[in-house]
Amino acid sequence: MIDLTIADDVAEIVLNISEKLNALDEAALAELGARLEEAEAASPRALLIRGEGRAFCAGRDISAVDPAADDALSFLGEVFEPVMRSLAEFPAPTFAAAQGACLGIGLGLLIATDVVYVAEGAKFGSPFANLGALLDSGGHALFFERLGAHRALDLIYTGELISGSEAVTAGLFSRAIPDAELLDFARQKARTAATGATKAFLASKQIIRSLRDERVGLWTSIARESAVQEELRATTADYTEGFKSFQEKRKPGFLGK
């Protein structure tokens, strides 16, 4: 079951299949995609995704998969990747709270999220060494970019997992939080973002994406920043409110417009 609640401009999506460590099959991914569509239609100003129970998401549910008949390309490319893209392109700041196992397509969901807070005891890596399969869902790109070729292949070849604390120290994710404090911390940060200048946040999201995916250089990025700054000035009420509140020495009242 994939749950969705919306309150105070924050949409919260919960992977609620705790008896399977939130491992996802095709039906669960279809449900997750539907919840993302519902959330987008409600126009929240932030989204939080999390897993119920001991794990964020242990990956694909392969308990009933026949490897001889399985179509891995179809599952990853036609079932999972559209959901991953929907999360990556969600039109608001997105946050994840990740505890326990965060593997396979679970890791892919985190890669697609803007800001990832992890429990200190969370587990990341490539368990595929024990399956005769390949790290997927963007894992190679994440590990290579943040850890380098040697450490990435070390994790892949050995199947060893690293903790949330180690992952953050290595630059994989945003912050490591004590396990018992993770959800409250992530919710508070999402609520704070939901009161911010949403259009400016989304502009930053797009610039970061261009740096990552298009590999634009410094001066191209600076030019985009300058152009977007002027666009925000000319078209958004929050830009005016931000300057006005600063000059009047008060807290801004951003509307996300």
CA distance 107 to 171: 15
Q: Give per-10-residue mean pLDDT for the chain (257 aa).
A: 96 97 96 98 98 97 90 94 98 98 97 98 93 94 96 96 96 97 98 97 96 94 96 96 95 94
pLDDT attached to residue 248? 95
CB-CB contact of 55 with 100 (8 Å): yes
Whole-prediction pTM value? Answer: 0.95
Rg of the Cα trace of the chain? Answer: 19
pLDDT recorded at residue 171: 95
pLDDT of residue 194: 97
Question: 90 and 40 in contact (C-beta within 8 Å)?
Answer: yes
Task: Provide the pLDDT for residue 239.
Answer: 95
Task: Write down the pLDDT at residue 130.
Answer: 87
pLDDT score for 113: 98
